[in-house]
Amino acid sequence: MTESSRLSRATDALRESTSLNDRAHNTRARILTTVRDKRVRRQRVLGALVVFACVSVGSTAWAAVTGYLPRALRAIGLPVRVDSAEPSSVESSENARRRPRFKRVHEVPVAEPPTNAMPEGIEPVEAIAPPAATAPRPNVSERPRPIVEPPTPVDAPTAVEQPLPSASRSRPDRADVIYELAHQAHFATHNFEEALPLWDAYLRDAPNGRFVPEAEYNRALCLVRLGRRADATVALERIASRANGYRAREAQQILDALRPATP
């Protein structure tokens, strides 16, 4: 038997072999069942997707209309761009007073301290003297409204509660309001006697708040401005040893500027 004839015979056998048809009917039924099941599964998935899409769109639209959308986006870690610090026309005046102006709160702690609070503190040593030589009283004269009685930090919460009764509803909102008031007193009206207890109140109210680093730093600046060098040194040393980035550097610079004047 030659090799080619062996292959040829085997090929002929394969070509002429018949296959069983007794399962043909069962296979037909199996095929149609599978196709039907796939169609049903596809329709179910499509239906679920449609429902999910409707719920997502509807809830997003509701959140946008009621003003909860920025908070919801922040809760899931998405950045929120606020075009204006002013509340939208949809919000009531009460909601506007209660809600802190996050854009200013975010920006100013980063941008303003180096320029607004520190130029005279870092450059010449005598720039530190102004907080001692120049009494903070001129700032007092510029005080727009007597919101806080500076000597007693305990008053700060009271001062907060007076203009904004709604601030007492929830602690996170209250802390944000305190922060905003402290920020205004510190950077807008330069009333450091008023700002210091407000920074203390924020740090007491929200020890784990988002703006604790800024509040601690600004509090230290208030102490410098008010001539309380010892307290300022303690606060700045804590910041310089714990913080990262520009705060630590600037705290160290202020400490270096303070030390030669310290006996």
Which residues form the interface with another protein (CB under 8 A)? 3-4, 6-7, 9-11, 13-21, 23-24, 27-28, 30-32, 34-36, 38-39
By C-beta, is 1 or 75 nearer to another protein? 1
Q: How many angstroms separate the CA atoms of 60 and 1, rounded?
A: 81
Look up residue 127 and give its two tokens. 């720039």
CB of 37 vs another protein, minimal distance in Å: 10
Backbone angles phi, psi at 204, to 5 degrees: -80, -35
By C-beta, is 34 or 95 nearer to another protein? 34
Q: How many CB atoms lie within 10 A of CB 64?
A: 13
CB of 9 vs another protein, minimal distance in Å: 6
Query: Taking CA 195 as the corner, what is the angle to CA 219 and CA 255, rounded to the nearest 5 degrees?
Result: 25
CB of 48 vs another protein, minimal distance in Å: 20
Name the DSSP class of 83: S
- Is residue 202 within 8 A of residue 183, CB to CB? The reply is no
CB of 53 vs another protein, minimal distance in Å: 24
Task: Map tokens 């705060």 to a residue.
Answer: 247
